[in-house]
Homo-oligomer: A and B are copies of this chain.
Amino acid sequence: MNPLTSPLLTDLYQLTMLQGYIDQEMHDISVFEFSVRSMPENRNFFIAAGLESVLEFLEQCHFSQEELEYLVGTGRFSQKLLDYLERFDFSGSVHAMAEGTIFFPHEPIIRITAPLPEAQLIESRVINLLHYQSLIASKAARCVIASDGRADLIDFGLRRTHGAEAGLFAARSTYLAGFIGTSTVLAEALYGIPIFGTMAHSFIEAQKDEKEAFINFAYSNPENVTLLIDTYDTVTGAQKVIETANLLKKKNIPVRGVRLDSGDIAALSKEVRAILDNGGLKDVGIFVSGNMDEYTIEELFAQEAPIGGFGVGTRLDTSADSPYLDSAYKLMEYAGKPRLKKSEGKATLPGRKQVFRRYDDTIMVQDILTIEGVEYEGLPLIREYMMDGKRVSKTLSVHEIRDYTLEQMKTLPANLRKLQKTAPYPVHIAESVMSMKEDIEKKLGTNG
């Protein structure tokens, strides 16, 4: 049972609810939408990500013999349900915003239309896939804004991501948002994302001395010489880089950069820059890592730190200032009738929705959240990706998605590009949605 693909990576209540649906033969078409309920304190927009992995999940979501045997063994489920699960094959449709699309609270980024038990069973994993990837793409986009083209950004976070899949998704989501690559090797092997790396302190410590470590590393990796200079003392380390570079020049091995990973990065980067410049190494870039995020990037550039690249890790890949989104996957329609919940603070807007985005020249100025079929001026953001369980859209490469995201980012109004909270972007909830909501509420009466 592989957790990455097993349909048992779900909440028990999905199966107990299915038992009810199957007993009552509730196989009519249901519509669920995934959206985020509210904007966290430290965000002004989100970037949609995770659609590709949702489509993959739906295509291969089946119960293996081993999984069925486990379910039988629990004694919890009826034969009728077990028979249903044995035949399970997702037959529904997926409508979604393209990966890389900017979105806001209440706007669905995915809509699943399928017989109720199918759309219900997949809930937990669909949220799990969309939530994390959108969380990280959104955080990474803020780093890209803070850097504003002044430095290369590289995902360095694998080790402190929450597990293997988070490590891999972090590499992909940050690349989509405009990072130039990651340190995670598997992200190149699986997705073709460019990978980068320097050396660790252990490499320096294990050698006779720091300079010998630099030289040995360069001999073994002549194309990729970025030297970590803070193991013992950053300034002394920078001086040794000059000596190393002079030695390597005779062998035609260029030193490409130095890495700083501790201390007062703003002050040290300036000091190191001066040492390198005086030593004739004007082309050697300064790369920094250690507790980086959009705030430190902005602050370092405000202090005019001469930094050409950032390794951004833990705070990015855990979205540390906002480690989750208040996201939900909610029933919008069943058997042709719109549905809603009224729960305090968690009420839903019913119906199948579309989002139209309006622009002033090239800048986005307003979104309209409407019932599908009610047309507005503007660009419709939601389109079909899967029909009757089969993909109806071309699978994009991660590079194509990245290009699209970068185009999206250009449409962002200036105030939303601030790292600090600003006035929310206007998302108008159309009359069609509100009147549908009121209609149902009236029918439900005060008693629900």
A323: which of B169, B210, B319 is its contact (CB, 8 Å)?
Answer: B319
The answer to whether A3 and B334 touch across the interface, beta carbons within 8 angstroms, is: no
A32 at the interface (CB under 8 A from B): yes
Chain B residues with Cβ under 8 A from A320's Cβ? 323-324
The answer to whether A201 and B330 touch across the interface, beta carbons within 8 angstroms, is: yes
User: Beyond A163-B128, A205-B334, A231-B341, is A189–B17 a contact (Cβ under 8 Å)?
Assistant: no
Number of copies of this kind of chain in the complex: 2
Count of chain A residues near B, Cβ 8 A? 116
Interchain nearest-CB distance for A428 vs B (Å): 25
**Cα distance, A327 to B216, chains bound together (Å):** 28
Interchain nearest-CB distance for A113 vs B (Å): 14
The answer to whether B163 and A262 touch across the interface, beta carbons within 8 angstroms, is: no
Chain B residues with Cβ under 8 A from A206's Cβ? 21, 26, 30, 116, 331, 334-335, 339
A374 at the interface (CB under 8 A from B): no
Chain B residues with Cβ under 8 A from A205's Cβ? 331, 334, 339-341
The answer to whether A233 and B448 touch across the interface, beta carbons within 8 angstroms, is: yes
Chain B residues with Cβ under 8 A from A325's Cβ? 160
The answer to whether A200 and B447 touch across the interface, beta carbons within 8 angstroms, is: no
Interface, chain A (partner B; CB < 8 A): 1-4, 6, 8-17, 19-24, 26, 30, 32, 67, 70, 74, 76, 78, 116, 120, 123-125, 127-128, 131-132, 135, 156, 158-169, 183-186, 188-190, 195-206, 210, 216-217, 219-221, 223-224, 230-233, 236-237, 261-264, 290, 314-315, 318-320, 323-325, 327, 329-331, 334-335, 339-346, 444, 446-448
Closest 5 CB pairs of A and B: A232-B448, A12-B197, A163-B165, A13-B197, A162-B162
